[in-house]
Amino acid sequence: MISAYKEGLNFLDKDDGLSAAKKFNEAELLFPQSEWAPKSALMAAYSYYAYNYYGDSIYELEQFIKKYPKGKQQSAVMALLYLVQSQNNNWIPLAAMRYIAKFLDMSYIKVYEVATFYSMFSLAPVGKYFVQICTTTPCMIRGANNVLDVCKKHIAKNQNELSKNKLCSWTEVECLGSCVSAPMMQINQDYFEDLDEKKTEEIIQMLLNDKFPKPGSYRNRKNTAPENGRTTLLEVKNA
């Protein structure tokens, strides 16, 4: 089983993500039947996909690099990872990291280090609707565990597991910087705030029906303004 996995990695090494299997079926034939076989085959197939994809996106990548001084093009690594993710169903394939390393003339491990450090980068497939639930202290004491339970009940028992209809997945994350609207969660690029169990259920049901709910406060607050109007700075206009 391990050797099948290694074989998958060697396959990617050999081809460097630039000329891997032309389609999933071909890739699947390269690996012996085992628990790891589909994963290895999938990686190879994605490798091919990444090559084609970035072949069409070179111009966009170059525009990012131009924003940095000459000789400092490696500073564009996060921007490039983010671009990859936003254009690849919210996750970054291994082959794309290799491609970025080559493109920026840096070692692959450095790209990998950046990609694995930030939770904003996903290195495995996620649902079309990727739900990130903050469970840091302010959200936790305001009921983040209830939000978590709803996701476990309706999306999947474990984090990073796809829902039965393959549309959603969820994960637990650290503070997303919106503590004033706790508890909250991020779905793809948007924040859903001031949640409770019932509101979370409604949101998740919409996602499972392939509809994107309205982001923002679920207690009808305007941004993070106090619910019952201002109590300070009353004399300051537009405070």
Task: Give the footprint of ligand FES on this chain (CB under 6 A).
Answer: 134, 136, 138-139, 175-179, 182, 184
CB nearer ligand FES, residue 190 or residue 210: 190
Segment (H or E) for 175: none
Segment (H or E) for 134: strand 129-134
- Please state the closest distance from residue 141 (CB atom) to ligand FES, in A: 9
Distance CA 31, CA 139 (A): 45
- Please state the closest distance from residue 195 (CB atom) to ligand FES, in A: 11
Distance CA 223, CA 69 (A): 37
User: How many beta carbons lie within 10 A of that of residue 77, not counting itself?
Assistant: 21
- Please state the closest distance from residue 91 (CB atom) to ligand FES, in A: 23
CB nearer ligand FES, residue 7 or residue 172: 172
- Please state the closest distance from residue 223 (CB atom) to ligand FES, in A: 14
Q: At what angle do helices 94-103 and 2-15 cross, to 10 degrees?
A: 30
- Please state the closest distance from residue 79 (CB atom) to ligand FES, in A: 24
CB nearer ligand FES, residue 92 or residue 134: 134
Quick check: bond before 183 cis, omega within 30? yes
| Cα end-to-end distance, the chain, whole Å | 62
CB nearer ligand FES, residue 120 or residue 179: 179
Q: Which SS3 state, helix, strand or coil, does residue 212 take? A: coil
CB nearer ligand FES, residue 111 or residue 176: 176
Distance CA 188, CA 75 (A): 24
- Please state the closest distance from residue 148 (CB atom) to ligand FES, in A: 12
Distance CA 101, CA 77 (A): 8
CB nearer ligand FES, residue 106 or residue 140: 140
